[in-house]
Structure 1
């Protein structure tokens, strides 16, 4: 099976990979590719980095529980695509994790051995011309604080790292590489061109000719104004556009060998900026990150016969502050509409099924109290509540709102779930207000049992997800096509 190695460089890289993981959970397809995320970010204490790694760990755990015996869901259902870490392919590179670079507990000055140079040394004088005293004191454990000039120096020799050498040694001709980074900060802006250069100059012919895609993310948010009295004043979002212009100018002249470049940005500034604090950076999910993740999936569905640079830009169908499925471009809508809708219904139904112990499906498939207290069901609940539901909620609350759903819709009125939904509240024998509710899906699960009889009854996780997923797809397809 071919693999896509997704390099998420810096905070933006991790946030796009987070959106990608949630889309895969919803059943969006990867054209048969396994996904191998590799996060590059020296800021190991960043909460959103830890959150992204835990999300991927949960995804993998649920996928493995469902597909462990090859008896799981058929293609196109929840958690179908395999996500693995580089460490699983090559255990010798270290413990199982999705990030590979190491934390650097040193200042930039210490890293370049500034203090070992004697005063009057021409090299010390040159460094003094290039960097301020504050820059030399910058602790690298919290990233590069929007300074690509620091990142370029720090990351310049990552090709010598053991994990990178292992990565090059396992790359097959059918594999692909995709790089996600911002180009208005420090880590991503420096790491992206360095990684492309390293790949294209490799002595390994397979690596040198590998198909490469990239998502250089342009500005899509602003930060609170830096305060001279604050501990977090190094990053000034007023400089984001200047940095972006400089990066684009550099890429135009010097960056070659990328098969597909996907550009995305949101130039509309928020009226309420993100908190300027690199120690937390606990900011809401943004539509740009979702669109960026869709670019990765688009890349997997394109053919590349030679190293030509193809450029793709994304524009909304309508420039509005509140976006639903009608405002999205047709290709993106077709990619995620049904999948996100299906999975949102799943998050609403999953906690309720244990409340119907006498339902035929629970009795016939032995979905009993023990099953509903299992680690598998608990993992699903954590994934849905802590990540998927929170993600949709944050997308609907940001300045550029992505709000295709009425998230507060109750399970006895699911016909109201999607904004502008064509599903009508039903009537039965002339009686009004027959609700489109949980019972529609529970009953359908029972009728689908024969379709999934090939899944052994002791593979409960596989059978449960297949039945519920299949019921949601069939019921919604019928309702939306009426």
Structure 2
């Protein structure tokens, strides 16, 4: 199976990977690629990073218990996610507990070189603590991140890369880590050491990238080195640099641009465990750009000696403007991609959250021995924890700006199928089994009769809920 290596640089990179994993969990297709996330962030305790890593691990544990042969019905968690580095991270050496001046061994320089460094970096730059990232300073990030090529983790990636694999890079353009890391990573991939047996594959690898323009702000804080008033000027400077060194020299095959002028200020946190920004609609759109790249025909991604022959540039727009986006605000192709899997998986989650503990007397539940299954790690540890993250992800996007809230999560046993905003569900006068969760239970029992009893209990459980939610979504919404 061909692999798609997804590099997530900085906090934005981690959050986009999180949104990608959520989409894959719902069954969104990514052209049969095996996804290999690699997070690049010097801030080891970054809350966005640690949360994404935990989500990835839970996904892997769920996927490992399932099979996806032609006989299996379930499509949730179908895409394989693997890691070639510890905790999905590319380790940066010599940044922990280090100031930038110590990293560059400033004290050991002669007077002439110190004078040069003082021209290039301010005193504040030189005293920056690199353990929490580069705090919006790409000039620092470019020096530190240039160690990519010599790192053990980069060599692991390079050695595992095959001819049919692809690469996608996620970065923001208005901070420090992403703005510096993106061009350096491209340079090091295209110019891989010729002693590596895979160097030619890397030189001519199909590379896609998304560069996130400002889409959120940070609250004013006189004590913080992060100032949102500099975001636009940093973006302009980075775009000017990219024009020469990324798009200007055809370094990547597909470059996606994304930003928004409707923004919300997040707490001004410089890093570590407290940097845990809410999920955002644009991070879902960025994840969709990865899927779009994966589905792009190989003939449109050709390279010659490290240069894209026909580079592609894309932006994204919604069909109708809204501060809180629902399905009908999205373009037609996006609706086709998202409506069914997101709605279907959310129906699955709602049953598990609201009814599964009371379902033991149902025939389908007895056949599955549901009481035992709910005590197994597959459900009690991995699926339950993943679903907590999934619900958190939906709720955070709902209350963000620009918000994304296509689904009503407050439905209950009186209005279960009113969950899709802007869509009136098809409700019959005489529905077999009754309405709402009674109808859901009836459909579970009906599908249970057609679901194979082969495979593990986990597989049977997922097959049953996938076919049931698929039938309900088709029945109620015609998706």
TM-score (norm 2): 0.91
Query: Is residue 179 of structure 2 the alignment partner of residue 189 of structure 1?
Result: yes
Secondary structure of 1:311's counterpart equals: strand
Q: Residue in 1 aligned with 2:102?
A: 110
8 Å CA contact 1:445, 1:467 repeated in 2: yes
CA-CA distance at 1:299 after TM superposition: 0.7
Deviates more, 1:420-429 or 1:133-142: 420-429
Listed as ranges, the matches of 1:342-353 within 5 Å are 342-351=344-353, 352-353=355-356
Q: Residue in 2 aligned with 1:14?
A: 14
Listed as ranges, the matches of 1:410-425 within 5 Å are 410-425=412-427
CA-CA distance at 1:224 after TM superposition: 1.0
Listed as ranges, the matches of 1:371-410 within 5 Å are 371-378=373-380, 379-385=382-388, 387-410=389-412
CA-CA distance at 1:464 after TM superposition: 0.2
CA-CA distance at 1:450 after TM superposition: 5.0
CA-CA distance at 1:114 after TM superposition: 0.4
Listed as ranges, the matches of 1:67-466 within 5 Å are 67=67, 73-74=72-73, 77-87=75-85, 96-102=86-92, 104-105=95-96, 106-118=98-110, 121-202=111-192, 203=194, 204-227=199-222, 230=223, 233-255=224-246, 256-270=250-264, 273-279=265-271, 280-305=274-299, 306=302, 307=308, 308-351=310-353, 352-367=355-370, 369-378=371-380, 379-385=382-388, 387-428=389-430, 436-453=435-452, 455-456=454-455, 459-466=456-463
Query: CA separation in 2, counterparts of 1:39 and 1:72?
Result: 35
Deviations 1:251-301 (A, max 9, x none): 11221321111111012233xx11111232222111110110011011111
CA-CA distance at 1:438 after TM superposition: 1.9
Distance change >3 Å, CA 123–CA 22, structure 1 → 2: same
8 Å CA contact 1:173, 1:206 repeated in 2: yes
Query: CA separation in 2, counterparts of 1:442 and 1:417?
Result: 17
Distance change >3 Å, CA 443–CA 312, structure 1 → 2: same
Deviations 1:315-357 (A, max 9, x none): 1112221110011111111111111101111111123223122
Secondary structure of 1:66's counterpart equals: coil
Distance change >3 Å, CA 71–CA 455, structure 1 → 2: farther
CA-CA distance at 1:415 after TM superposition: 1.9
Query: CA separation in 1, counterparts of 2:275 and 2:318?
Result: 27
Query: Is residue 34 of structure 2 the alignment partner of residue 34 of structure 1?
Result: yes
CA-CA distance at 1:23 after TM superposition: 0.6
Q: Residue in 1 aligned with 2:305?
A: none
Q: Residue in 1 aligned with 2:63?
A: 63
Secondary structure of 2:218's counterpart equals: coil
Deviates more, 1:98-107 or 1:243-252: 98-107
- Gaps in structure 1 of 5+ consecutive residues: 88-95
Deviations 1:2-48 (A, max 9, x none): 10000000010000000000111111111110000000000011112
Secondary structure of 1:188's counterpart equals: helix
8 Å CA contact 2:278, 2:400 repeated in 1: yes
Query: CA separation in 2, counterparts of 1:17 and 1:50?
Result: 12
Distance change >3 Å, CA 157–CA 102, structure 1 → 2: closer
8 Å CA contact 1:108, 1:135 repeated in 2: yes
Number of residue pairs matched by the alignment: 457
CA-CA distance at 1:207 after TM superposition: 0.8
Deviations 1:421-465 (A, max 9, x none): 221444229x9xx96422323322333335431633xx1111101
Distance change >3 Å, CA 38–CA 362, structure 1 → 2: same
Deviations 1:376-411 (A, max 9, x none): 1112121112x1111111111012111111111114
What's the Cα RMSD here?
A: 1.9
Deviations 1:293-316 (A, max 9, x none): 011011111113322210010011
Distance change >3 Å, CA 268–CA 78, structure 1 → 2: same
Secondary structure of 2:295's counterpart equals: coil
Query: CA separation in 1, counterparts of 2:324 and 2:99?
Result: 43
8 Å CA contact 2:325, 2:404 repeated in 1: yes
Deviations 1:161-183 (A, max 9, x none): 11111211221111000000001
Deviations 1:175-214 (A, max 9, x none): 0000000011000100100111111122311111110000
Secondary structure of 2:216's counterpart equals: coil
TM-score (norm 1): 0.91
Distance change >3 Å, CA 374–CA 181, structure 1 → 2: same
8 Å CA contact 2:324, 2:405 repeated in 1: yes
